Amino acid sequence: MGVQDTGCLWRVPAGHGLIREYDGRCTYHSDWAFVAPNFRMREFNPAGVRPYGVMRKLVDQLQRMRWALGAPIIITSGYRSGTTHGSGLAADISVPARTFIQVAQAAYNAGFRRIEVIKRPGTSYWNKMSVGGHIHVDVYDGSGNTTRGTIYDCPSCASIPCFPWYAWGYGSVWSTSQPNTFSQLMTNLRADRSVTGYRGC
Ligand SMILES: [Zn+2]
């Protein structure tokens, strides 16, 4: 499965990133420009990849989370190669001043339907995220709309586009549960059950 490049990424001016708007247009923003009240363009590119870009929906939903949580959101990984990150659909975040459980709930409330919660051994989902780990949030919806093209460029993901449940592991540690609803994910988090996540759309 190939990528149908929209061409947008190849026209990003130096020192800029792109946002693919809801209507499919690509807009270009200086790295330092605010693309939402609390986020600058460059925050979606911590790895320093060129060219780079993300979907407007990702920016908007993170801003909604920012308002709801009332605390800074650090994007630890945004645009980069691989999976949905490489299509501008996903971010890995930490909110050091809030717990994993609070942040997962805020992600769902903001509209995210693909949420992975990864803690480090010896920590709890009840801990503030300053203990380490991250939460992956993702706006992939099966529509094929990405920053790169009209086909989602993750061959291994094409066969699992939008199942009501999906369970996975991290490294060699596999999830002990298969949450098929967001409330099941929250149950798993409250019980501190291993690495877990939720994909529904
Ligand atoms: Zn991720």
Residue 115, beta-bridge partner list: 137, 198
Span from the CA of 69 to the centroid of ligand 1 (angstroms) = 20
Cα 73 versus chain centre, distance: 12
Report how far residue 101's alpha carbon sits from residue 157's, in angstroms, rounded to the nearest whole number: 27
Span from the CA of 11 to the centroid of ligand 1 (angstroms) = 25
- Tracing tokens 């093209």 back to the chain, one arrives at 149
Span from the CA of 78 to the centroid of ligand 1 (angstroms) = 8
- Tracing tokens 């001016």 back to the chain, one arrives at 13
pLDDT digits (tens, 9 = 90+) for 63-106: 999 999 999 999 999 998 777 888 899 999 999 999 999 999 99
Span from the CA of 190 to the centroid of ligand 1 (angstroms) = 22
89 vs 188, higher pLDDT? 89
User: Domain limits of the chain?
Assistant: 8-153
Nearest to 37 by CA among 73, 89, 13: 73
Task: Provide ipTM, 2 decimals.
Answer: 0.99
Question: Residue 197: which pLDDT band, with cuts at 50, 70 and 90?
Answer: low
Residue 137 is encoded by which pair of tokens?
């949030």
Report how far residue 92's alpha carbon sits from residue 151's, in angstroms, rounded to the nearest whole number: 22
31 vs 152, higher pLDDT? 31
> Topology of domain 8-153, per CATH?
Muramoyl-pentapeptide Carboxypeptidase; domain 2 (3.30.1380)
Cβ contact 55:48 at 8 Å: no
* φ, ψ of residue 63 in degrees (nearest 5): -65, -40
